[in-house]
Structure 1
Amino acid sequence: MDSVNKAVIENSAKQAGWHLPTWAKSWEALLLLTAVVVFLLNCMASPYFLDPWTLSDATFNFTEKAIIALPLALVIIVREIDISVASIIALCSVAMGYTAQAGVGVELICLVGLAVGVCCGLFNGLLVTRLNIPSIVVTIGTMSLFRGIAYILLGDQAIRDYPPAFEYFGQGYVFYVFSFEFVVFCLLAVLFYVLLQKTNFGRRTYAIGNNPTAAFYSGINVANHKLILFTLVGFFSAVASIMLTSRLGSTRPTIALGWELNIVTMVVLGGVSILGGSGTIIGVVISVFLMGLVTVGLGLLNIPGIIMSIIIGSMLIGVIALPTLIKFFAEKRRV
């Protein structure tokens, strides 16, 4: 999809007689331009939008989802998907809630949550790589399984017995104005950029996404690589669960319900091809900020949550359908 989008931008520029530099022809540049436009519209929508505290608090709307979007981008690049992430968040939160009720310290609460997330991701990965079940089928099943376990363990109750120190992960600030969550996301974005663009691990990821069979015969252990990626998604779903549970101050089995759509949209809107083999972390990061700005803007206009869901769903369908539409109209023009 990345190459198709780039071709469309190049053709439009040629027709208009423009000579754009290479970076300006990318999907990331188009996303960045869109984000700037949405930012300016938000400035006009509310005089309070540019307040530093308003901007800082707005990051709470997307940072937990964005943290999961980073490893999920790698999973989609290798032609797989994980839509059980929100259910992993719920199960991790329930595990942490029961651990907190036992009166243990913050460190052990977090370790339990991370352990559950890793186990969930590993379980998904083993089903995909060892039993060769399509990841969409596996994660649809585990999405119901993990959420169902959370409901069985907690029912319609809520757990609020967290120690005061636990609040910092979801409510704390760094340098007075930046939320702790946002700072963690920025650091992870840099880490995943280096991992995907500058290391052999990233090159293997692209190789598997472009041609898994060729990657296998070139000496790459495709199954183990995918297993690592699914485990990473589970781990960072647990990280997001720690932050979300801390921010809400409670655990419920409905926590993060419906987040799958938002997270997948962040990745695909960022230029990661749903067919695998292409995409960048920079695109995902810009997409995260764009969706955050859209959410804040709609909130400033008092748009109901169901309308926000419709808009996000439409964005996902539009981005996935874009290459097909471009190919269709290109063929019509040739005829």
Structure 2
Amino acid sequence: MAGKSGREINAVPQSSVKQKILSWEGGLVIIFIAVLILGAAISPTYNFSSVFREMPKYLCEIFMMFAMGYILIIAEIDISVGAIVCLAATLGCFAGNAGVPLAGVIAVCIGTGFLAGCLNGVILTHFTELPSMIVTLGTQIIFRGIAEVSLGSGGSVSMSNSKMIMPLATMVGPFPLVFFFVAIAAVIFIFVLSRTTFGRKLYAVGSNHTAAHYAGIPVQKIRMICFVLIGTMAGVCALFYLSTTFGANTTTGQGYEMDVIAMCVFGGIATTGGKGNLIGATIAGFTIVCLRIALGQRNINTQLILVIIGLLLIVSVLIPRISEVLGNRKRRAAQS
């Protein structure tokens, strides 16, 4: 469109390369590259081949990260996902040992996650005054308790016919099969969030539940969908977990909820709801996976890895707050 001066004025402002680099996602790409360089520096065996070979045991968490992004955007939280993975993996093992074919094991794992997500969603949408953290804390104890009772005194179960589930852990060229499933899930979840009416409704609900309700958005229906979705993704996670470990125990999935929340928050999704996107969260997820692999190849204590992830989580929460404070100070200084 031409202005009075005769110059062309773009209807949509064009973002510069500098702005893209200085964006949260741009910073994450730089950090991701730095992690790859760090891994190659500290481990002589750290290369693309070894990273893709070790990825399957970590990538399964990213399935839950996509759905957790939706949960955080609507200003909710689900800390029962690790326990759902434990229960789904346990029941999947029992099904496989009972002679159920691969299709049946897939149905058991995903179905368990779906039902667990339904339980969380039904409670939270029928008793709207209850906070999601408390409800999912309670169901976390229930789901893991059921798994522990099922496992009995041994506390673990192994698949007697591990060859049945091995096809899910096959390599397609240099890439593990799960990598392609994660890529497909990423495209779907990112597209839905950024390009559909449902995605815009998620942001509206997260920004203000009451305003969204009066605007005609079915808030409780959307909450239900999100909790069912993350439960289902936990079932998918359990399925691919089984394909690499061929068993489950009482500690299966422990800490997964913190891992996926860290991926989301490190990726720029606000815990207060209504902000963030899954592009940044996906980059953050792969950054944490590659960091885990690099430190694991150097036999770094797993507890230290958890400390590093915890620090990343704290820093990613503090940075927006610090930026906001500095921005307010600059505005006040400019006005005075």
The answer, yes or no, to whether TM exceeds 0.5 is yes
Higher mean alpha-carbon deviation, 94-103 vs 281-290, is at: 94-103
What letter is aligned with 1:291? I
Percent of aligned pairs with the same amino acid: 29
Match of 2:142 in 1: 145
Give the Cα separation in 2 of the matches to 1:114 and 1:80: 22
Question: Among residues 170, 173, 186, which one is paired with 2:171 in the alignment?
Answer: 173
User: Contact 1:66 / 1:288 at 8 angstroms: preserved in 2?
Assistant: yes
Q: Could you say what secondary structure the match of 2:61 adopts?
A: helix
| Residue from 54, 59, 67 that aligns with 2:63 | 67
Rounded Cα–Cα distance in structure 1 between residues aligned with 2:244 and 2:57: 11
Residues 230-249 of structure 1, C-alpha deviations (whole Å, 9 max, x = no match): 00001010001001012101
Query: Residue 101 in 1 paired to residue 100 in 2?
Result: no
After superposition, residues 245-264 of structure 1 pair within 5 angstroms as 245-264=242-261
Matched AA of 1:271: G
Q: Which residue of 2 aligns with 1:316?
A: 313
3-state SS in 1 of match to 2:272: coil
CA contact (8 A) 2:166 2:243 kept: yes
Aligned counterpart for 2:124 among listed residues 116, 128, 133: 128
Counterpart of 2:134, as a letter, is: V
Q: CA deviation at 1:273?
A: 0.5
SS in 1 for 2:250: coil
Matched, 1:38 2:29: no
| Residues 1:232 and 2:229 are matched in the alignment | yes
Give the SS at the match of 2:55.
helix
1:65 shift after superposition: 0.8
Alpha-carbon displacement from aligned partner over 1:204-248 (angstroms, at most 9, x marks no partner): 111111222221112110000110010000101000100101210
Q: Report if aligned partners of 2:190, 2:279 keep a CA contact under 8 Å in 1.
A: yes
| Residue number in structure 1 paired with 2:4 | none
Distance in 2 between the 1:101 and 1:296 partners? 31
Count of residue pairs brought into register by the alignment: 314
**From 166, 181, 184, the counterpart of 1:184:** 181
AA of the residue aligned to 1:161: S
Of 275, 300, 304, 2:301 maps to: 304
1:29-57 Cα shifts (integer Å, max 9, x gaps): 0111111112122222233222x420212
Q: In structure 2, what is the Cα distance between the partners aligned to 1:211 and 1:324?
A: 20
Structure 2 Cα separation of the partners of residues 328 and 82 of structure 1? 30
Alpha carbons 1:58, 1:292 under 8 Å: kept: no
CA contact (8 A) 1:181 1:243 kept: yes
Give the aligned residue type for 2:160.
D
CA RMSD of aligned residues (A): 1.8
Higher deviation after alignment, 153-162 or 98-107: 153-162
| Corresponding residue number in structure 2 for 1:117 | 113
2:30 and 2:37 mapped to 1: Cα distance? 11
Instruction: Tell me the distance in 2 between the aligned counterparts of 1:306 and 1:198.
Output: 39
> Does 2:221 correspond to 1:194?
no
Contact preservation (8 Å) 2:57, 2:244: no
Q: CA deviation at 1:93?
A: 1.1
2-side partners of 1:79 and 1:246: how far apart?
Answer: 33
Q: Displacement of 1:198 after TM fit?
A: 1.0
| SS of structure 2 residue aligned to 1:251 | strand
1:13-43 CA-to-partner distances (Å, cap 9, x unmatched) read xxxxxx8543223100011111111212222
Q: List gaps (5 residues or longer) in structure 1.
A: 1-18
Structure 2 gaps, min length 5 = 1-15
Aligned match of 1:294: 291
**2:119 counterpart letter in structure 1:** F
8 A Cα contact 1:105 1:163, kept in partner: no
Residues 1:330 and 1:200: Cα distance change in structure 2 (over 3 Å): closer
In structure 1, the residue corresponding to 2:216 is in which secondary structure? Answer: coil
1:14-53 equivalent positions in 2, closer than 5 A: 21-50=18-47, 52-53=48-49
User: Distance between the aligned counterparts of 1:225 and 1:289, measured in 2?
Assistant: 28
Larger radius of gyration: 2
**1:138-163: CA deviations, max 9, x gaps?**
11111111111100111224232245
* Bigger Cα displacement from structure 2, 226-235 vs 97-106: 97-106
- Provide the rounded CA distance (Å) in 2 between the counterparts of 1:130 and 1:91: 24
What's the CA shift for 1:331?
5.5
